[in-house]
Structure 1
């Protein structure tokens, strides 16, 4: 398994495109908490369930002053179509595609042997510090209630 970023570390800033081709950076959300929810590959069953679960619980995250960002190494055009198919209207899903896995490498969760990220959730506080980080087995769906408890 990867060497995930540690609680108490400063979260590396990044600039990635979301499903709408909008450039998103972590620094845009200063003053809010941010959930970085990493899924290895779009169009796979557990990754689909993971993003749908976050979308269903969007209001609960919003009530806790938390922005939800889903990330994977898929390209922006793929993320755009996938978001439309899944009806992801509230959460942003970002393409860590070019250069491949650059952001997931900065967070210590890129898997060279698979060419994708781990499945992981990383919570960042209002000042850009990591407050919770968890890796999951590749076929395990993260529990949204567990994430919400950390907020």
Structure 2
């Protein structure tokens, strides 16, 4: 990407940026998926043309789904959600029929150890917490509860 004048972000190695005048083009690459966005339509078209010449690829149009995050558009607004991701986590944990709650945990509520409780599988627990951390990107309302169990 550097040969096209892009600079790799220091905070996210999958993000490449190119500033031209007061416009910007952003490219995010993850394995074989990429997002190209920005307000420099001329540069975006030039980048797509260069990439099409160098790689076998398709332009799928407006972003709809990326890394488990669904992108919806309506009247100039953009919404992100992880409905499919949530359903997969619920199915995996056997909680598909659970009832939702407005507040997943009370603030300043500490966790307690129950002597009668069966120990959880540590690896399975850590994987679930990781999935919940990822889920909190589109659900900041659960970030506090996820932080407590993490």
Give me the TM-score of the superposition, normalised by structure 1: 0.21
Report which structure shows greater RCO (CA 8 Å, sep ≥6).
1
Higher helix share: 2
Return the index of the structure with the highest Cα Rg.
2
